[in-house]
Each structure stands twice: as C-alpha cells, then as structure tokens.
Chains A and B, each alone.
Chain A
Amino acid sequence: MGEIENNMETKHNMDAIAENNENTIDSMDTIIKIEDLTYTYPGAAQPTLNHVHLEIEKGDFLAIVGNNGCGKSTLCKVLNGLIPHFISGTFSGNVWVEGENTKNADVGTLARKVGYVYQDFENQIVRPTVLDDASYACLNYGMKDYEQRGREALHQCGLEGREDEYIWQLSGGQTHLLALAGAVALGPEVLILDEPIAQLDPGHADRIYEVLRELNETYGKTIIVIEHHTEYIADYCKHVLLLRNGQAAWMLPAREALARVEELQESNIFPPQVTIAGFRLQKNGRLTQTQMLPTTVEEGREAMAALSYAGGKSPKGENVPQTAAPEPSEKTVAQFKDVTVSYRSVKGEPHTVFDRLNLSIHKGEKIALIGSNGAGKSTLMKMMVGLLKPSQGIVELNGTSVKNVKPEQLSRQISLVYQNPEEMFIKDSIYSDIAYAMQVRNVENWQEKTEELLKRFRLSELSERDGRLLSGGQMRRASLAIGVALNPGILLLDEPTANLDIATRKEIMRTLSDMKEVTDTVMIATHDMQLVCEWAERIIVLCQGQVAADGTRDEIFGNAALISRVGIRPPEIFTMGQALDRRALCYTVDEFLDAFSCEGRQEE
C-alpha cells in the first residue's frame, strides 16, 4: 500500500503521462499497455510480477502461457483493476486499458472495459436463473436496458433459448458460457478467461472456443486466455505471451511461438504433439531446418507429406497381442448386473443415468472410463463404493452385493479418489489425512506406513501443511496417497489429471504408472486421451447410459464411426498419423516417429 500512496504524490505527473499515452494508444490501436509493472502480494517476500512491459493490440486473440505460479492470473487481475483496488499489496508501474490508467479508474468503470471469467467460474454465478445472472451486473450499474443487454450477451454466447432456466440445469460447459455472458453483458472490449476448458470434454471445449472466436471476429472483442492446451492455442489464438518468473519473456504470433519447442518445454509448457513430432523430425534431419514447424494437423499434413508409413506395427496394428481383452478365466472383482439408476430432479421426472447396465471388471485390469460430460462416469464409480444405490439391479464386489456391505467396511476392498481433492481432506494436515484411515483401524505400524506413503508420493516436506493450501499437483498427489492408504484391491480415480498444467499432469501420470505395481485393479474416469492412450489397457466408453464400446485402444480409436458418435477425441498425434496414412495407429510421439521412421522402406 505504501507504494501506492507514494505514487499518489506523483499522481499529477502520472496523469500527464497517461494523457500523452492516450493519444499514442489511439493511433497505434493498442488496447492494453503495461509499463514497468511490479506487484507483490501482501505478505509475500518476492514480487509476483516483476517489471512487466507489455502492449496488446485491439482485436487480438492472445494466449498467456507460463509455469504454475508465474503470475498469469495475477496479471489478469491487474488488468481488470481488482489489483490494486480490491486486493492490496505493493504496486508500482502503470497499466492503461483503453487509455484509462487503472490506478485512477474504479473497479466498476474497469468492469465495463475488461470482462473476467474465473477458473472456478461456477462460484462467479450469483443468481439463480440464466437471464437474471447475465443481466445482474448491468442492473447493478443502473443500465436501463439491462434485460436487453443480458439477452444480447446470451445470444452472443450461444445460450439463446435458455433464458429462464435455472443455473443447476446447465451442464459444465453451459455454466461456463453463462459466466462469460455475465461478463460480455457489460459490453467490455477486452475479455479475459482463466483456463476456460480445464474441466470440459472436447465437444464442450470446442464450443467455448467457437464462441470466443465469434466474439473476436464478429464483435471485435479482444480476447485473452490463460491456456495450457496448446492444441487449442494453435487452432484459435493469434498471439502467445510467455510469462517467466513474473516477467513477460516474449510475445509472438501463435505459430512462431509454438515452434519454440525447447524454450516452452523449459517453462513446462508442452507444444502440440504435431509440433513436437516436427521438431524431432527436424533434429534428425528428416525435415528441413528452414521449414516452419507445423502446429495443427492441417499444417502437419503439408509439412510431413513426404513421410511415408513404414509400419511401426504390423499392418493391422496387432503385432503386440494386447492382454487387455478380458479372458474368461480371469477373476471378476466387480460386476454390474442390469443396473438402472436415476437422479431425482427438481422438476418433473427423475433423470435416468443408466438403463440396465451390464459390466464386468477383472482382477489386475487397468481401465480407462471415458465419455462426454454427464455420461455417468462418476455415477458408475459412486455405485461401486456403495455411495449411490441403484434403483434396479445389483452391483457386486468380489462376489457379494455392495448393498449388503457398509461403505466403511468396503474401504479395504475398494477406494475412490474424488475429482475434487479438497473433499478428501478432512483433517488439518496431510499427514493426519493419510494416517486417518489406518489410525482408526489400528493398522499395525501406521506411523511408519504413513511416512512411507508420504515419501512415495514426495510429500514428506509438506506433511504438516493443510491439504487445501497446497498447489494443484501436490493436492492431487496427497489425494492419491489417501486413496491407497488402506491398500485396496481396486482403486477408482475420478479425473486425476483435470485442472492441472501439463507438467503436473505428466508428474501425476508418472505417479500412476508407479502405482501400477502397488494396486491391482485401477479404473480412471477421464477426458484426458493422452493419459488413456499411454496408461490404459482396457477402455470402456460410456454413452447415453450404456457401454458404447469396450476394448483396447486400437479397437476404440481405430473405429472412426464410434469416435464421432460418442464425442471423444483421440490424441492429436493419432489424428496426425491417420491423416498421413489410414493404417497408422500411433498414440505417442515416439510411436509416431517409429511408424514413419525408415525412409529406406519408403517403397514397400
């Protein structure tokens, strides 16, 4: 705060500069200008933003990338004036939005210039109905035509026809669009979205980005997204800004930026798989150095057209007999028999999630459960641990019906790690959280076992911290440790990689691979197809209350008709391989390079 007061003295000076800049800004079509911005959170030792200089052009579609904790969200909060007006701290430097210095404008004025959608957007919605929430801000600022503005914003965000619905009737993607509409309604020129697609399936994610593109191209809004999904950056964004250690390292056109593979990887950002493949091809001389690296499948098709399929696998892609297909001799550990389940709804008929579902899970399987949002993945897992009872049919665990076993007795057989790790933390330190289940059961040597788990999941140093205050990846690891504490035979994980940046995601994936030896049977519900392809041995696809498909990755992803029907998307590198040669079934960059490796075999 002291810094701000100091600056107040020189306020007149500043105003003069602002005035000057206003003129230049208009001529240059710059909408946001940041000069020597340094900001430190109250109580923090290090500044989060350190001498940032930045200019953003009007009409840009900018992606901000960077390490966890490099100040991306902080930078965005600076732009909409929450910093320094609502969140105090030490602030120096200047920020102009549409020529207005944020130091002199209040949050209300800035809200009409810069719209902000949070990462936890559901907490941003404060009214019960859709139209009401979209027009709420306009009403508060006393705009006479608030309802019209709300309707217009809903139209722009593709929520037309849902004006009178209640917010809990909306799906995750629609809720996000509503949060966006609430920001759009005020008519800001700049829209900022913090990780807009972190929790969404590809269908919903595309929809969000289509809406953003429409806002950008048709309505001329400047869009700024914080994004880890580089494939989306390649498809939609115009520029990329890399933040490193609280500083703006560079801002480049998207394709050029994504081609800086090594630099991005240093900051824990993973360029699209196509780009990485191109980069590695370039390194071993298969692509020319001068060639611009491809960032999308479309560009990849052009750049790698010369490559030919050498058959990393035998022609039908069955060289390794995958053991995934359940053999009848295997022991069944869980079984669904004609299971029907439905949720009560606020109005009208209950909503049926599963209708006569049949499914068997065998000992030792590594299963990925996939399907679009709302296909029933979480419901299926909750039924297995007895938290949800089917209205018809039986769920069996090791031969006995789950109904007859109390959940607390189940916990040695099966364990569920929630999608939201916060809900796993019931104690005030992760040590006691991990120890809890063993402690109350008087498991022998529970202290030692807890220490062991802490070490295994690399949490030893954090053992006294409250789980809620850890970073995303640490929180995930802690919740996994809690999940395996009782050494259950079956482990269920609900979206273990959601909301994580790629580096943390890789780390969790490594942890999951490590755990393969520890736990027998593991089932993961996820949208993360890279995880599915690299980890799973059996894939179950849920769609409209039924098992739409069940098999190995080749059986699932090789079936184009199925893929388009159930709304899942294979990893980009798989699509790339397919685009080059229909016979190619490659799931990782390594497999891709293998499959298209020997030029000698070009003429087969």
Chain B
Amino acid sequence: MMQKLSENVLDKFSMDFLRNQVLKNAYGNDDTVIAVRDPRILLVWYLFFGLVPWFVNDLPFLLGCFLLVMVTTILAKVAGLVLLLFAVGVFSQTGYLLIATWIFGGDASAIAPLLVLTLKVATISLASVTVFSGLDPDRLSNGLMWFGCPERLSFSISYAYRMLPMLMEEFQNVLLSYRLRGNPPAHETVPGKIKYLIYQIKIIIHAFYPLMLNTAKRSRTTVEALEIKGYRYAAVNKEVRKMKLSSLKVTYDDLIFLAISFLWVAVTVLVSTLV
C-alpha cells in the first residue's frame, strides 16, 4: 500500500508532469475571466492588493481582501502545482506558527496577530498568483512594457516560457540516459537510501553539463533567426513599440472588474468601521 502510494506520488512529480503544469499554467487557461482582462488594469489592481495589505492590520479588511483574491484565483483556474506551492509557501512562512500556537493553547491575543500575518501573506501571494499565472506571458509582458519596462525584459518573459518546456524535455531525456546506463546504489536499507539520494542529486548536477551544451547548440539557430526576424531592429524602434502596445484595449468588462473590486473593498472598510 505504502509502496503504491509513494510510487503514485513519484509518478505525479515526473518531469513530464512538471512540464505539463508549466505549460498549463502559462497557456492552458487563456479563456478565463482573468486572462481576458487588460493586463494594465490587472497590474494596477495588483499594485493595490500586492501592497496595501502590508500596511493594514485591520482583520475584517484583510479577510475581505483575502476572500476577493481567492475568488479571482478560482476564476483564473490556476494550475494545481502552483496552488500547492502557494499552500506550502504560506504554511512554511507563518501558517505553522499559527497552528502550533493554536494547538498549544495560545489564546486569542496570541492567535490574532498571527492570523493577521498569515492573511497578509496569503492575500499578497494569491494576488500575485492571479496576475502572473492567470495572464498568459505575452499579455503580461505587453502590460509591463506599457508601464515602461524595457522590451528586452518583456521578450525574455515570453521567450522563457517558450523555451522552458523544451529545456525540461531535454533535461528529462538526459536524466533518462543516466538512469538507463547508470548503476545506482542499492537502496533497501536506510544508509542505502541516503546513498541513493546523494547519487540522485549528483546525477542531476551532472546532467546540467550536457543540457547546457545541447541548449547552446540549439540557441545558435535561434540567435540567427532572431537577427533575421529583426529583433535587434525592433528593440530600438519607438514606432514598433507603439504597434506592439496598440493591441491593448480597456473594455467595459475591465472597468466592471475594477468597479466590483473597488466596491468590495469599500464594503470591507465599511464593515471594519462598524465593528
């Protein structure tokens, strides 16, 4: 039973799965309510929910914000892996303290500040998840470019997303070569298991060398192709930048999205003054 479970978990975390999750996260949900928002609106929205919670300690307000970003995260249909990372992240930051305090009989005076801190971290993280994972990389980079980020940054974001799956596939294949031809230590006993773990880590480090060389070989073509496609020319041309940004349009729905967020925040502020 236990073996089956561990096999299952290992299965889930194969390179293939990671690759799939990255792609899913970047491009798999381009038709959600969040993904079709104008990236500039979302960035402004993020500026609020990513910053304000740090400076406010009011519980109803934070709770309200948390609920809102939770709803947007659900709307964005964020990939499972990202949510898992989020949960692990929040828990390792403050969540464990909160639970420990609660278990060991800490009273409200001890729990409340921890709850506030946990809420802050969770709200900000979820807001980031909504924006950076709900939007596809191209829209995000266009939004960033509008706010004056250099073209190179925005290109890097979308290009990294384009390359990442390829890199992971290549890495997977190199690792498989090691697995097929290598001879790992037996790992039935506990010391054996530790040896096995060290072996695995060593293999992963070794695998980077062929990965880098193979990538370098591939990127020679890419660099030449970029040159032909006028990438360098565009990077310094204002006109091209304008054309790239002209696809951004604020719609009524974007305004409604902002209005709802604003109203909701107003309500929570109102509630907190009433309490």
Contacts and interface: CB of A to CB of B under 8 A. Distances in A.
Given A422-B217, A426-B177, A126 B24 contact: no
Interface in B140-185: 158-159, 161-162, 165, 170, 173-174, 176-184
Contacts of B6: none
A471 to B, nearest CB: 14
Interface stretch (B81-89, B93-101, B120-128, B238-246): B238-246
Smallest CB-CB A-B distances: 10 pairs: A140-B230, A140-B234, A437-B181, A137-B229, A123-B221, A124-B225, A423-B173, A440-B183, A344-B20, A346-B23
B229 A111 contact: yes
A468 B213 contact: yes
A418 B47 CA distance: 48
Contacts of A111: 228-230
Interface in A122-181: 123-129, 132, 136-137, 139-142, 144, 146, 166-168
A408 interface: yes
15 contacts: A82-B227, A111-B229, A120-B221, A123-B222, A123-B225, A124-B222, A125-B225, A137-B229, A146-B243, A346-B20, A346-B28, A426-B206, A437-B182, A468-B213, A468-B217
B183 A408 contact: yes
B237 interface: yes
B253 interface: no
Interface of B: 11, 16-17, 20, 23-24, 26-28, 136-138, 158-159, 161-162, 165, 170, 173-174, 176-184, 206-207, 209-210, 213-214, 217-219, 221-222, 224-231, 233-234, 237, 239-240, 243-244
A347 B121 CA distance: 31
B243 A425 contact: no
Contacts of B217: 422, 468
Interface residues of A, number: 59
A128 B228 contact: no
Contacts of A592: none
Contacts of A209: none
A225 interface: no
A80 B174 contact: no
Interface string A517-546: 000000000000000000000000000000
A124 B189 CA distance: 49
Interface string A476-493: 000000100110000000
Interface in A404-460: 407-408, 410-411, 415-416, 418, 420, 422-426, 428, 436-437, 440-441
Interface of A: 80, 82, 86, 107-108, 111, 116, 118, 120, 123-129, 132, 136-137, 139-142, 144, 146, 166-168, 182, 344-347, 385, 387, 389, 407-408, 410-411, 415-416, 418, 420, 422-426, 428, 436-437, 440-441, 466, 468, 482, 485-486
Contact of B182 (A144, A408, A424): A408
B184 A408 contact: yes
A428 B170 contact: no
Given A137-B230, A140-B233, A436-B181, A82 B224 contact: yes
Nearest to A144: B243
A86 B224 contact: yes
A111 B159 CA distance: 22
Nearest to B210: A426
Contacts of B23: 168, 346
A80 B230 CA distance: 13
Nearest to B246: A144
Contact of B159 (A126, A345, A420, A482): A126
Nearest to A86: B227
